[in-house]
Structure 1
């Protein structure tokens, strides 16, 4: 029997294992980059005002602004592809997949931000959380729907959800017609005179 919406057979295992390994490797790299102590003479205070750091970066102008904002967008952007890859399903709602992936990316970014509070030289910045989440969403929208459609065509499914296959040895499941409620006279013991 095939799970509804899955790739099928050993392919689903290969996709999930590959996605899981790449996901763990990427998260390990992100943890190494973002949770290392920094040796700095002073640290700016935490930024809890949305878009304050983005405005400051844009005020720098030019390549420096693009680099800083690009770093925020690109840090967790691969999660937009790796999380659905680790999930390993082809026939899912695009909106549900996007919401699930973006929520997971936001939670991972929040977890990193909370862990940074205990690392010397690192401060919490709400703009990093927003840019990381936006990067996950953009990457997911740019790659996942097209990749799933291509894989469905390749598998011969053409955007139709997978149907449960019957085991030929068992045959069809019998259907039972609806039965109404028995009258109380059939349930009550016979009355004695």
Structure 2
């Protein structure tokens, strides 16, 4: 049974308005008795990922992105914090592998479960553009800009468009600045939802 606090985190409109999570993700968070603050955070990052992928499709149509995968990845990237709730309000990376394992146990394909582990592992070999975009969304939702991460996205965009890096950088920077402008309101939305650990069935 869903608590009132988790229901609010999943359904409150937010300011700016936040898209709802995919139905299967919302249902999983209810099953896991996820902390309301985690649900609010996942909504914020999912919404930013939607804005980011839409803008990139408009500005850089040559870039091949699995938008559905990126959105699912953004919606579940921190789900391991159900297992490691202390990492909701403090540092730690134990939630990354735990999140992937949790998703796999609940029948999520490995191709989608991976984002729980890769969203902070963007320096590793074999990370594709979809993983990078989930990582960017997980930073820019709160207005944080990570130059090394964004440079990797610029490299991908320059390669597929044949454009100069500086030109691509300026366009990506404009997109991210626009999204980051609402960071304080997203942070305020997240802060209104309590940190309360649930249990994992």
Normalising by structure 2, report the TM-score: 0.31
Larger Cα Rg: Structure 1 or Structure 2?
Answer: 1
